[in-house]
Amino acid sequence: EVQLVESGGGLVQPGGSLRLSCAASGFTFSDHYMDWVRQAPGKGLEWVGRTRNKANSYTTEYAASVKGRFTISRDDSKNSLYLQMNSLKTEDTAVYYCARVPAGYDFWSGYTDYWGQGTLVTVSS
Amino acid sequence: VIWMTQSPSLLSASTGDRVTISCRMSQGISSYLAWYQQKPGKAPELLIYAASTLQSGVPSRFSGSGSGTDFTLTISCLQSEDFATYYCQQYYSFPPAFGQGTKVEIK
């Protein structure tokens, strides 16, 4: 059974930093690209970023709203995905989901087939 | 940038109804469209990809159609567990983007 479990959310002040983790199980993590997607309270879904796997040099792409502040990384030996968030703003307050791109899809044109339960990040003074 | 218009934003329906949700693109995306269902406090779940392919385990009352710019999600006979919010997502153009969502509520 595919499982994705996020952790690391919490309350942080504007300008602060936070690192989210996503533990994957039930599939061969290294075969898949992975996404982070967020959802502000009462709002819709916003794609945050995507990372390739080791075979494709772990390269990443980000939404314009987070580029330069957020960094996605992964450790395929630990089946884990990370999101380092720096210079946080109040508008970054959201539930953050990690999600899997099906194996074999092109990096530039893949959807997501499994999602974690999410972790809430609140940016407030 | 591809602009997406998902409609309606709110749909009131009764159990047993046939409901349709529309997702329209500002330019053609072939069949690079997915549909997700989200229940309150839960993560989104994939229903359909490639515009019309049902994800494994999804009930057959859900179906998707369309290509190019106009897409539709149809629930043929609404069940109580289907009251939720539905999102379309285009993955033809990077970055992938979601529609605004359609909340299906009990009439």
pLDDT greater than 90 at residue A107: no
**C-alpha span between A9 and A98 (Å, rounded):** 13
Of B38, B89, B94, the CB nearest to A111: B89
Please state the φ and ψ torsions of residue A92, each to the nearest 5 degrees: -85, -5
Give the whole-number percent of chain A exceeding pLDDT 70. Answer: 100
Residues A44-92: pLDDT tens digits? 999 999 999 888 888 999 999 999 999 999 999 999 999 999 999 999 9
Are residues A44 and B100, on separate chains, in Cβ contact within 8 Å? Answer: yes
Q: What is the pLDDT of chain A when averaged over all its residues?
A: 96
Residues B63-98: pLDDT tens digits? 999 999 999 999 999 999 999 999 999 999 999 999
**Pairs across A and B, CB distance < 8 A:** 50
The minimum CA-CA distance between A5 and chain B, rounded to whole Å, is: 11
Are residues A108 and B94, on separate chains, in Cβ contact within 8 Å? Answer: yes
Q: Are A100 and A22 in contact (CB under 8 A)?
A: no
| Identity of the amino acid at A33 | Y
Of B38, B49, B95, the CB nearest to A111: B49
Please give the pLDDT value at position B47.
98
Cα separation values, B35 from A22, A108, B18, B74, Å: 23, 18, 17, 11
**C-alpha span between B7 and B23 (Å, rounded):** 6
pLDDT greater than 90 at residue A16: yes
